[in-house]
Chains A and B, each alone.
Chain A
Amino acid sequence: MSSEVLRGIDPRGYVSTFIREGVYPDGRGLLDEQKLVFKQGECGGVGSSVVSTQGVTVSCTIEASVSLVSDATLVDIQIESSQQLAEKDAEDYNNLLLSLFTNEHFIRRENLRCLDTSEKTLPLEWQLHVTLKVLSLEGSLLDAAVCAIGAALADTKLPSIALDHADTDESAIEKTQIQADYRTVHKLSLEEPLMCCSFGIFVDSGAKKNDEILLLTPTLEVIAVCRSTCSVVVGKNDLMVLIRERGRLSQFSLIKKMCMITAERRRKFVESLRSVV
């Protein structure tokens, strides 16, 4: 039977034939990493990046505005919905990424205070508006989005603020008293960069033992026949900061392996970011 016919009528059988040999249909090993390419400073704003990995290309642009110190959220994220990404899915990813900011895994709130030319903190805060555009979507969006935000934040340069308002003056700060001084720029003081990897767990029902096989960054075709999928975000000290698992998972110990693989990939990403800076 032609392989294309098998692929159409029995996708699970087609994929399991390759997985039994330890490879994906495209020849990649089951735990081989996909190349990740990133470029900073190409998309405008105070910081930006473009990240391309496993068939997904995402651009991230950060705009900044000054606000008075308050309890309001300082970061808002918008993933622009497109034909490739439904509004419901875009909103879901928005909430996920925003939770990483809310829990201060990208940047602490106190590091968003405005600084003057002598690096003294002012009673003003930066509000960041993060916009993600999906340029192509042939895999997991979360992997590329987390890297794109990290790279864009590392690229962000904010001007100093000149505040013409005395410390002892109890009146409200007026807009006219705030001036941006682009002669001195500051980089953000960030937390350790994050890395996200997506995994699939495949169970070969045709095999003698129904073991769960771990797959790193499976393609959409393979995800469709996986028993479950899991996205793991790893941060400082190789700790997992976010896990999203969907589907039945009987071997809980697979999560440890996922964490180790993601941590290793994160180390390489951090080295690359530091070499660029």
Chain B
Amino acid sequence: MAGRLREMRCELSFLKNADGSACFSQGSTCIWASCSGPGDGHASKANEEAMTLDISYRANCGDNKFSVLNNIIQSTISKAINLELFPHTTIAVTIHGIQDDGSIGAVAINGACFALLDNGMPFEAVFCGVLVVRLKDELIIDPTTKQEASSTGRVLFAVCNGADGHPEVCSMDAIGQWDFNQLEAAWSLAQPSATAIFEFYRSVMQRKHSIDEH
């Protein structure tokens, strides 16, 4: 098992017109995420009881009408934020893939979380994304594009902290042939990586707020 995350970098509030934004990268994979809202939305999408999420992942090329990542990002955010706090409103989260060198799904989830944190959204549980792939019976975390293309199985975990403080699965997409033992091993590998990502979140937010104090 190879369990090392690539170097993470994050710049917050770099888009002036968005309520929250983040430029986040893991290794050479980089995304820009922006978050605008809660605010007025189209009447046809208005929900009397909860906030409406408008999630859009856009790759740097191709048709961006639909993306396979929209579903997992939307589901994760809907569990991490109490949407009933903001009825009759809409929040738009847009993630642009700037450069893809593997684990774009996990990086997009992390970037979305940073944009929401930058916006000051009240979280029930902060979340992060971790991708684990199987390459010749070895599990690799945060793979590059080359490793991902050669893999025989992929699992994308969206992880949040449970009530007992331990990481728990918030969403999961797995493809490829997995038996339960391999899947459990992938989850065991993802947990310390998720803890490391949460530590990174903490350090970035501490740096942001310490600058604001001056």
Q: Which residues from chain A sit less than 8 Å from chain B, CB to CB?
A: 88, 91-92, 95, 99, 103, 235-250, 252-253, 255-256, 259
List residues of chain B with CB within 8 A of the CB of A103: 175-176
Among the listed B66, B169, B175, B187, which residue makes an inter-chain contact with A92, where contact means beta carbons less than 8 Å apart?
A: B66
> Can you identify 27 A-B contacts, CB atoms within 8 angstroms?
A91-B66, A92-B66, A95-B68, A99-B68, A103-B175, A237-B177, A239-B179, A240-B174, A240-B177, A240-B179, A241-B176, A242-B175, A243-B155, A243-B173, A243-B174, A244-B173, A245-B169, A245-B172, A247-B170, A248-B170, A249-B168, A249-B169, A250-B168, A250-B169, A252-B187, A255-B183, A256-B180
**B175–A241 touching, CB < 8 Å:** yes
**B175–A259 touching, CB < 8 Å:** no
Using CB atoms, name the residue of chain A closest to B168.
A250
B79 sits at the interface (CB 8 A): yes
**B169–A248 touching, CB < 8 Å:** yes
**A246–B171 touching, CB < 8 Å:** yes
Using CB atoms, name the residue of chain B closest to A251.
B168
**B170–A255 touching, CB < 8 Å:** no
Within 8 A of A (CB), among B55-76: 65-66, 68, 70-72, 75
List residues of chain A with CB within 8 A of the CB of B175: 99, 103, 241-242
Within 8 A of A (CB), among B162-203: 162, 168-180, 183-184, 187
* Top 5 closest pairs, chain A to chain B, by CB: A243-B174, A245-B172, A239-B177, A256-B180, A91-B66
Among the listed B66, B79, B170, B180, which residue makes an inter-chain contact with A95, where contact means beta carbons less than 8 Å apart?
A: B66
- Given A95-B68, A240-B183, are A247 and B176 neighbors across the interface (CB < 8 Å)? no
**A243–B160 touching, CB < 8 Å:** no
**A259–B162 touching, CB < 8 Å:** no
Among the listed B168, B172, B180, which residue makes an inter-chain contact with A244, where contact means beta carbons less than 8 Å apart?
A: B172
List residues of chain A with CB within 8 A of the CB of B184: 252-253
List residues of chain A with CB within 8 A of the CB of B68: 92, 95, 99
List residues of chain A with CB within 8 A of the CB of B187: 252
**B178–A243 touching, CB < 8 Å:** yes
List residues of chain A with CB within 8 A of the CB of B179: 238-240
List residues of chain A with CB within 8 A of the CB of B169: 245, 248-250, 252
- Given A248-B168, A249-B169, are A235 and B177 neighbors across the interface (CB < 8 Å)? yes
Bound Cα distance A253, B155 (Å)? 16
List residues of chain A with CB within 8 A of the CB of B180: 240, 255-256, 259
Using CB atoms, name the residue of chain B closest to A244.
B173
List residues of chain A with CB within 8 A of the CB of B75: 246-247
List residues of chain A with CB within 8 A of the CB of B183: 240, 243, 255
**B79–A247 touching, CB < 8 Å:** yes
Using CB atoms, name the residue of chain A closest to B188.
A252
Using CB atoms, name the residue of chain A closest to B178.
A240
Bound Cα distance A239, B153 (Å)? 12
Bound Cα distance A254, B177 (Å)? 18
Using CB atoms, name the residue of chain B closest to A94.
B66
Using CB atoms, name the residue of chain A closest to B166.
A250
Within 8 A of A (CB), among B63-93: 65-66, 68, 70-72, 75, 79
**B66–A88 touching, CB < 8 Å:** yes
Using CB atoms, name the residue of chain B closest to A89.
B71
Bound Cα distance A255, B70 (Å)? 24
- Given A88-B66, A95-B68, A255-B180, are A243 and B162 neighbors across the interface (CB < 8 Å)? no
List residues of chain B with CB within 8 A of the CB of A239: 177-179
- Measured CB to CB, the closest approach of chain B to A153, in angstroms, equals 19
List residues of chain A with CB within 8 A of the CB of B171: 245-247
**A92–B178 touching, CB < 8 Å:** no
- Measured CB to CB, the closest approach of chain B to A61, in angstroms, equals 23
Bound Cα distance A249, B169 (Å)? 5
List residues of chain B with CB within 8 A of the CB of A91: 65-66
List residues of chain B with CB within 8 A of the CB of A88: 66, 70
- Given A88-B66, A92-B66, are A248 and B177 neighbors across the interface (CB < 8 Å)? no
Bound Cα distance A253, B187 (Å)? 11
- Measured CB to CB, the closest approach of chain A to B159, in angstroms, equals 10
Bound Cα distance A103, B68 (Å)? 15
List residues of chain A with CB within 8 A of the CB of B172: 243-245, 249
